[in-house]
């Protein structure tokens, strides 16, 4: 399989390094608007190759992995699926745009390809998805981060946001992609509740999902270490991305 990675930041780097050791992957194409990021990563890969632009990357790849930004999803998402290539989206906050999301789904169905959405920095997504089939009544995501992970300076614990997931993703596009994943698995962007807390004594990034419905009650919590290369992102987000990649190339599907 030939893998294309758009975005050579923290998550793109983690995925590329893991893919470099997978025997099922024969080539890794890289593209980032920041040439320094490309050059830094390509030196660490055995199977890596730089391309001139996103279009060339899509043409050469079997699967395209977006690890850049919501803007990259808007720019390249349709192009990937129009070519019949599978697409992995990390910046899934872009999918709060209902019309855009429906267009991607329509293209994937028409061209018989897949859109993969890693669970990111949370646990319990499989439970939310299963519960939504039998009747899911309420889902709340509470995210607590150190101020630096939210790009602010503060010496007191404070609630920065409380509202629905659609508003959260718009206001914090780089920090709350997990809200998009939880929403798409369950009640949608407008019905999923989100609370974002800044806590200066928090050493880790904490996500808590609370849900109830006909199935019973669900409570899933995870305390994530920040990615050492990007404190705004949880390291588990990178690991979930690698897990999806392993799922794509593996004959055994779990969950």
pLDDT tens digits for range 181-229 = 999 999 999 999 999 999 999 988 899 999 999 999 999 999 998 788 7
Specify the pLDDT at position 255.
66
pLDDT in tens, 113-163: 999 999 988 999 999 999 999 999 999 999 999 898 888 999 999 999 999
Specify the pLDDT at position 74.
97
Q: Which of 193, 196, 172, 192 is nearest to 183 (CA)?
A: 192
* Dist CA 184 CA 92 (whole Å): 10
For 82, phi then psi, to 5°, come to -65, -30
Query: Which residues does residue 139 pair with via DSSP β-bridges, in sequence order?
Result: 211
* Dist CA 92 CA 70 (whole Å): 7
Superfamily of domain 125-224: Dihydrodipicolinate Reductase; domain 2 (3.30.360.10)
CB 209 within 8 A of CB 124: yes
Under 8 Å CB-to-CB from 201, ≥6 apart: which residues? Answer: 157
Q: In sequence order, what E strands does 19-83 have?
A: 27-31, 48-50, 63-66
207 is annotated as an active-site residue: yes
CATH of domain 2-116+236-249: 3.40.50.720
CB 6 within 8 A of CB 66: yes
Region 43-63 average pLDDT:
98
- Which one is catalytic: 137, 206, 207, 212? 207
Confidence check: pLDDT of 174 > 90: no
Region 12-38 average pLDDT:
97
* pLDDT range class, residue 253, cuts 50, 70, 90: confident
Domain segments of the chain as ranges: 2-116+236-249, 125-224
Average pLDDT value for the chain: 94
Biggest CA pair distance of the chain: 52
């Amino acid at each position: 399989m030939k893998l294309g990675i758009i975005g050579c930041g923290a998550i793109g780097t983690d995925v590329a390094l893991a893919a470099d050791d997978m025997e099922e992957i024969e080539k890794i194409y890289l593209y980032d608007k920041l040439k320094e990021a490309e050059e830094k990563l390509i030196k660490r890969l055995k199977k890596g190759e730089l391309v001139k632009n996103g279009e060339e990357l899509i043409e050469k790849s079997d699967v395209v992995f977006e690890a850049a930004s919501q803007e990259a999803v808007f720019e390249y998402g349709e192009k990937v699926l129009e070519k019949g290539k599978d697409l992995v989206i990390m910046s899934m906050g872009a999918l709060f745009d209902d019309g855009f999301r429906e267009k991607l789904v329509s293209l994937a169905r028409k061209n018989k390809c897949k859109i993969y959405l890693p669970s990111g920095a949370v646990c319990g997504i499989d439970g939310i998805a299963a519960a939504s089939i039998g009747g899911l009544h309420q889902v709340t995501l509470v995210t607590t981060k150190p101020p630096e992970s939210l790009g602010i300076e503060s010496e007191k614990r404070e609630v920065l946001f409380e509202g629905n997931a659609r508003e959260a993703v718009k206001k914090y596009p780089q920090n709350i992609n997990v809200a998009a994943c939880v929403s798409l698995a369950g009640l949608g962007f407008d019905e999923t509740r989100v609370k974002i807390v800044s806590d200066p004594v928090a050493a880790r990034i904490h996500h808590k999902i609370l849900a109830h419905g006909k199935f019973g009650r669900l409570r899933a919590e995870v305390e994530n270490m920040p990615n050492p290369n990007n404190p705004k992102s949880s390291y588990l987000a990178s690991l979930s991305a690698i897990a999806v990649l392993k799922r794509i190339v593996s004959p055994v599907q779990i969950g």
